[in-house]
Amino acid sequence: MSSLLIVGGDHLGKITKKLEHQGIREIIHVSGRKARMSQKEIPSHVNLVLVLTDFINHEFSAAIKKKANKQSIPIYFSKRSWCSIYAVLEKSELLSNRTKRKKIAVNG
């Protein structure tokens, strides 16, 4: 099961549906508006952290980056646009495994 933590942005809008369509089963969203959020740990079952850079302050971003690195969870940074998010996720293992499976199914 693929699980994604998105940090930043008040509302994700249609992004959630698009991520589900790409095979991501669990999407956890943290807006980052409240200072106490930076004190929480990243859930251990999260496969990837995605930080929306145009909706988060530098302190919170640095705190999340430190926690992700400490827990050996890949972290990526993106703008909130779907084009940017998709491009970043394509680089990650989260979508590349799904793409490989698709190619095998087509060729096999």
- Domains of the chain plus CATH, in order, are 3-107 (3.40.50)
> How high is the pLDDT of residue 17?
94
**Least confident interval from 5-19, 21-35, 66-80:** 21-35
**pTM for the whole thing?**
0.81
Q: Quick one: DSSP state of residue 8?
A: S
For residue 84, give the amino acid letter.
Answer: S
Distance CA 12, CA 31 (A): 9
Tell me the average pLDDT across 37-50. 87
Residue 54 CB contacts under 8 Å (≥ 6 apart), including other chains: 8, 79, 80
